[in-house]
Amino acid sequence: MVANRYVKDRFLAEDIMQDAFIKAFKNIKNYKNEVAFGAWLKRIVINQSIDLLKKNKLELIAINNDVITKVEEEDWQVENTISVDEIVANINSLKEKYRLVLTLYLLEGYDHQEISEILNITENTSRTQLLRGKKVLKEKLKNTMYAARY
């Protein structure tokens, strides 16, 4: 499921999982038991997924730090009539740069420093893409709620 969230292709996700397991077993001596094995493996899967996307020419454009410095808003309420599956489906329909940051931040629980390291972008770019992605997602969810009512 984790790999599929990133690559949106079941067969590619299966390949990523296989590669992740191979990588994990080859590097099992590096596992320090500081985190749960599942969390360590999940990080490998996420990195493998993002590596594949980068290999397929995913370009995340850094935004000039002088242009935008915006504080994150935490007012993130969604009506309880929208299911988690609908939210995830709407996230998956976003542009790739927004989808990746939203997935890492909202679904995987990574912070901006970790996201910036994973995606090789600045923390400010991560914040900006998260804010823009949230804005687009909110609009999509509003349209979903509006369409469901009428």
Q: What is the overall mean pLDDT for the chain?
A: 80
pLDDT tens digit string along 22-68? 999 999 998 888 888 888 899 899 989 888 888 776 444 444 444 44
Burial classification of residue 25, based on how many CB atoms lie within 10 Å of its CB (0-12 exposed, 13-18 middle, 19 or more buried): exposed
Three-state DSSP state, 63: coil
Is 132 a residue whose pLDDT tops 90? yes
What's the predicted TM-score (pTM) here?
0.59
